[in-house]
């Protein structure tokens, strides 16, 4: 009896092993097939330009809801996107942003106070920003002579700007944003290069109230499986933007107010961003989402006129834009950063789109409640940039976006490109500051990459491995 049972057990083990080998071979075949099918999405291993060191990344695998890997994003950003965008936003066309800084909060009496002089915005004098932003004819703007008289009444520009004077561009409302700055009353041009996004001392209940209103009233943090994909996308976009803003505050922080010493606040970087894997994930997601919007609008952006009156600088702007839109490395490694076609499906799609559109408009309106001028400037710019990305990727009336001709105003394009640059810099800082942050706080930064171990998990389930 025992001998018969032993023989049966041996036979079962042999049969089980055979089944495992069959399953293993099947997995390998499928894996190879997928690998060949996805070849365009990855760098050629023999390419000399890909010098990413193996095992050097905290974050690995595919960015959730996107079509690009963390390692690929870091490599592309370092080699292509970040240096190109840094040059682009310094050109006269992308340097100046038209904004309404003095607005009443539509939701509550604003009582925020800024402790620092750095909280105020340095406005442009009338003769600094491109005259073609007001009038169609001008003989040039010096790119190396920015003048700004901070805090002086004469720094306020002439706000009677001719909305249609910027040749080749139009004024059109963006239904995704509450105020896309098409109204020229109380407007001013701001040189973004002289007003960097960094720590301003804007803290306390007033600052917290802004983010609380954004998350709790318009963009609730979603529990697992409770909200639909589109609602999750909105949350991730806002979370990614929030993470990016926090990164810039931590990377350019006033370390010593007495000596006016600025530098990196590594502890703050950890406490606000790096200790939370989902915040880093959402930063990468938002970066790829905006990048997709820029590449999708390539035909429009390539043909647009970047006219400030300075022919040399304008040609440079146009050349850099084309370099961004038609970069061969970007197209080979990450041709579709985000696939927007999978959203808004089913009968409830149009209604859901209008709901999320209203929520984002509320978020846009909340920027008027920010009690710090410089924070309000960058909040308005980046929310307008995100609203422009939503406008490019999705229709606004529940119909196919391809039916309608894309139309953008120059302020939307300026906001979109500057937002992409801000996100690009945040991704770079997260990647570069990680080791120093770990050393400063004395604990490892949480890594994530479980999505890359799907094959291992499947194999473990087949073999019974732990």
* Whole-number Å distance between alpha carbons of 166 and 409: 9
What's the Rg (C-alpha) of the chain? 25
- C-alpha distances out from residue 379 to 39, 103, 368, Å: 39, 13, 9
Q: Which DSSP category does 221 fall into?
A: P
Q: Of 68, 114, 148, 372, which residue is the catalytic one?
A: 372
Which helix H or strand E contains 276, and what residues bound it?
none
Instruction: Quote the tokens at residue 306.
Output: 């970047």
Instruction: Report the Cα–Cα distance between both ends of the chain, in Å, rounded.
Output: 33
- Choose, from 114, 124, 334, 375, the residue flagged as catalytic: 375
411 in Cβ contact with 97 (< 8 Å) = yes
User: CB of 42 within 8 A of CB of 332?
Assistant: no
Could you give the count of Cα atoms lying within 13 Å of 188 in the half-sphere of its Cβ? Answer: 21
Annotation-wise, does 200 bind a ligand?
yes
Phi, psi of 253 (to 5 degrees): -115, 145
* CB-count burial class (<10 Å; 0-12, 13-18, 19+) for 12: exposed
Q: How far apart are alpha carbons 280 and 285 in whole angstroms?
A: 9
CA–CA separation, 428 vs 423, rounded Å? 9
Tell me if 388 is assigned to a ligand binding site.
no
Q: β-pairing, 261-263 with 253-256?
A: antiparallel
- 3 state SS of 62: strand
Instruction: Tell me whether residue 260 is annotated as binding.
Output: no
375 assigned to active site: yes
* DSSP per position, 285-299: HHHHHHHHHHHHTHH
For residue 344, say whether it is annotated as part of any ligand binding site. no
Under a CB-based contact definition with an 8 Å cutoff, are residues 422 and 197 in contact? Answer: yes
Interior CA angle at 371 toward 128 and 113, to 5°?
110
The label of the residue with tokens 């004024």 reads 171
Cα–Cα distance measured from residue 437 to residue 424, given in angstroms and rounded to the nearest whole number: 19
Beta bridge partners of 62: 69
Residues in the chain: 466
Q: Is 168 helix (H, G, I), strand (E, B) or coil?
A: coil
Of all helices (H) and strands (E), which one includes residue 402?
Answer: none
Q: How far apart are CA 109 and CA 101, in angstroms?
A: 16
Q: Is 211 annotated as a binding residue?
A: yes
Q: Is 242 annotated as a binding residue?
A: yes
Annotated binding site: 198, 200, 211, 239, 242, 272
Q: Which residues are annotated as a binding site for FAD?
A: 198, 200, 211, 239, 242, 272
Active-site positions?
A: 372, 375
């Amino acid at each position: 009896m025992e001998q018969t049972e032993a023989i049966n057990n041996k036979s079962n083990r042999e049969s089980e092993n055979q089944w495992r080998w069959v399953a293993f071979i099947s997995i390998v075949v499928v894996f190879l097939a997928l690998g060949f099918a996805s070849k365009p999405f990855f760098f050629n291993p023999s390419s000399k330009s890909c010098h990413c060191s193996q095992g050097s990344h905290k974050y690995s695998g595919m960015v959730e809801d996107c079509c690009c890997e963390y390692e690929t994003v870091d490599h592309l950003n370092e080699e292509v996107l970040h240096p190109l965008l840094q040059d682009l936003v310094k050109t006269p066309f992308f340097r100046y942003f038209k904004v309404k800084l003095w607005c009443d909060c539509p939701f509550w009496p604003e009582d925020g106070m800024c402790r620092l002089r750095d909280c105020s915005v340095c406005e442009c004098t009338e003769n600094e920003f491109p005259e073609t932003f007001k009038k169609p004819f001008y003989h040039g703007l010096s790119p190396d002579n920015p003048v700004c008289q901070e805090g002086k009444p004469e720094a306020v520009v002439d706000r009677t700007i001719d909305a249609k004077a910027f040749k080749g561009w139009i004024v059109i409302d963006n239904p995704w944003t509450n105020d896309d700055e098409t109204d020229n009353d109380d407007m001013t041009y701001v040189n973004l290069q002289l007003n960097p996004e960094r720590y301003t001392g804007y803290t306390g209940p007033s600052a917290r109230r802004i983010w609380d209103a954004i998350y709790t009233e318009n963009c609730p943090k979603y529990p697992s499986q409770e909200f639909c994909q589109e609602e999750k996308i909105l949350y991730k976009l806002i979370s990614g933007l929030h993470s990016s803003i926090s990164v810039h505050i931590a990377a350019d922080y006033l370390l010593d107010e007495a000596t006016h010493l600025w530098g990196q606040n590594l502890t703050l970087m950890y406490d606000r961003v790096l200790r939370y894997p989902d915040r880093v994930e959402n930063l990468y997601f938002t970066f790829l989402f905006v990048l997709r919007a820029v590449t999708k609008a390539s035909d429009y952006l390539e043909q647009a006129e970047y006219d400030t009156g300075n022919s040399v600088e304008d040609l440079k702007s146009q050349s850099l834009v084309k370099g961004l839109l038609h970069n061969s490395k970007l197209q080979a490694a990450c041709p579709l950063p985000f696939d927007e076609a999978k959203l808004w499906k089913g009968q409830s799609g149009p209604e859901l789109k209008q709901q999320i559109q209203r929520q984002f408009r509320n978020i846009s309106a909340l920027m008027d409640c920010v009690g710090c001028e410089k924070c309000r400037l960058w909040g308005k710019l980046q929310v307008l940039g995100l609203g422009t990305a939503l406008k490019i990727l999705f229709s606004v009336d529940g119909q196919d976006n391809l039916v309608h001709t894309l139309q953008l105003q120059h302020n939307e394009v300026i906001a979109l490109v500057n937002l992409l640059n801000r996100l690009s810099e945040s991704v770079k800082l997260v990647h570069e500051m990680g080791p120093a942050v770990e050393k400063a706080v004395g604990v490892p930064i949480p890594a994530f990459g479980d999505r890359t171990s799907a094959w291992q998990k499947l194999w473990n389930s087949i073999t019974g491995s732990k």
